[in-house]
Structure 1
Amino acid sequence: MSNVLILGANGQIARLAEKQLLSETKHHLTLFLRNAKRLEVTDPDRETVIEGDATDPDALNKAMAGIDIVYANLGGGKTIETQAKAVVQAMDLAKVTRLIWISTLGIYNEVPGAFGKWNHQQLDGGYLEPYTAAAKVIEHSNLDYTIIRPAWLQNNDTVDYELTHRDDLFKGTEVSRKSVADLVTKLINDPKKYVKDSLGVNQPYTDGPKPSFY
């Protein structure tokens, strides 16, 4: 059993991961988010809610007490690099080393062909750049990180995915949020897996110039 801190706990993937972790494991979950009223606790014995901002090192420092694994499901566009720096600082101070960090596809210019061009058209100019910078903060840290780079996200009720690594070309165009949550759960259950790695996540056989829902 591990004590898991989930940053951005009201995110769609985070809520799916929380549900799976409560159902399949005995881990204790500390749920960190800006507005605690937005989150409904289903198991008070295994869930602790902390209200705070991930750009605030002091709030993160308090949340890190007794934590074994940090799963960061953070957004915020232009603030994501600041959040990455604050998370690394707080983890270093608390001597917590294991980090699972949700990023986005395209941060290494690893998406090939027509889909890669389309992806840049959609994400360049204010989204891809800060996520790329945030990933560099994580990779230059001393943490035992895993960066997750999902394909374009959809809400299909399916778990079906394959992985690529940092130096591989990205595959596919889309993946379900439920699949990403399943990967997060597996990494929490086996924290020595994919350490210092960056994983692209896609649903097999979804290659094309853009996701099916565009």
Structure 2
Amino acid sequence: MTNVLILGAHGKIAQLATAQLLQDTDAHLNLFLRDASRLSMTDANREQVTDGDAASQADLEKAMQGQDVVYANLGGGNIKAQAQAVVAAMDVVGVKRLIWISTLGIYDEVPGAFGRWNHEQLDPSHYIETYRAAADVIEASDLDYTIIRPAWLSNKSLVSYELTQKGEAFKGTEVSRASIADFVVKLIQNPSEHIHESLGVNQPNTDGDKPSFY
């Protein structure tokens, strides 16, 4: 049995991963989010809901007690501060395995017209540089991390994806949330895989100037 702390548990990908973990594994889940009343449990024997702030090291340390894996599905303008708090709390508590959701483009790895379009869409809000700063915090840690860099997200029920490593050109333009959730679950089931890797994730054969839904 694996104990999994899911940070940002109200997120769409996190909810898909939660449902799949309940269906496909015997993991116990600690669902961490701000305003816990937004989330209801499916299986009270295997889930608990924790109200907390992912930028608060104290909140995180409390939630991490007894956990084996931390899956962070976080966002916002303070994502670097959240990354710093997560790393510090994991170091204090002694939890090593971290799965961290980031975004594409943080290494300027998206080529061609799509790369230019992606930068134009995200750069005005400094989204890319903010998420890069958070990824830098994770990569500088001594944690057993995996960083996931999804393509633009769709709500398709399709599960189909391929991976690219840091240093390789990003492939495709889009990927389903269900695919990212599936990959997260696979990492939780096989926690020794993809350690110290930052992985682009896309749906195969979706190359183009922009995602199909734009």
TM-score range, shorter chain: over 0.9
Which stretches of structure 1, 4 residues or longer, exceed 2 Å deviation after superposition?
none
Measure, in 2, the Cα distance between the counterparts of 1:177 and 1:107: 19
Unaligned runs of 5+ in 1: none
Partner letter of residue 102 of structure 2? Answer: S
Measure, in 2, the Cα distance between the counterparts of 1:28 and 1:133: 31
Q: Secondary structure at the match of 1:5?
A: strand
Unaligned runs of 5+ in 2: none
The alpha carbon displacement at 1:40 in A equals: 1.1
The alpha carbon displacement at 1:52 in A equals: 0.4
Measure, in 1, the Cα distance between the counterparts of 2:181 and 2:202: 13
Partner residue in 2 for 1:190 = 190
- Does residue 1:145 correspond to 2:151, yes or no? no
Measure, in 2, the Cα distance between the counterparts of 1:113 and 1:9: 34
Pairs within 5 Å for 1:1-214: 1-76=1-76, 78-125=77-124, 126-214=126-214
Q: Secondary structure at the match of 1:206?
A: coil
Measure, in 2, the Cα distance between the counterparts of 1:64 and 1:122: 35
Q: Secondary structure at the match of 1:59?
A: helix
Q: Percent identity?
A: 65
The alpha carbon displacement at 1:140 in A equals: 0.2
Measure, in 1, the Cα distance between the counterparts of 2:145 and 2:95: 11
Q: Deviations over 1:119-173 (max 9, x none)?
A: 0001113211110000000000000000000000000011000010111100000
Measure, in 2, the Cα distance between the counterparts of 1:161 and 1:59: 34
Which is worse superposed, 33-42 or 121-130? 121-130
Measure, in 2, the Cα distance between the counterparts of 1:154 and 1:213: 8
CA-based RMSD? 0.5
Q: Secondary structure at the match of 1:124?
A: helix
The alpha carbon displacement at 1:51 in A equals: 0.1
Q: TM-score, normalised by structure 1?
A: 0.99
Measure, in 2, the Cα distance between the counterparts of 1:139 and 1:182: 23
Measure, in 1, the Cα distance between the counterparts of 2:35 and 2:105: 30
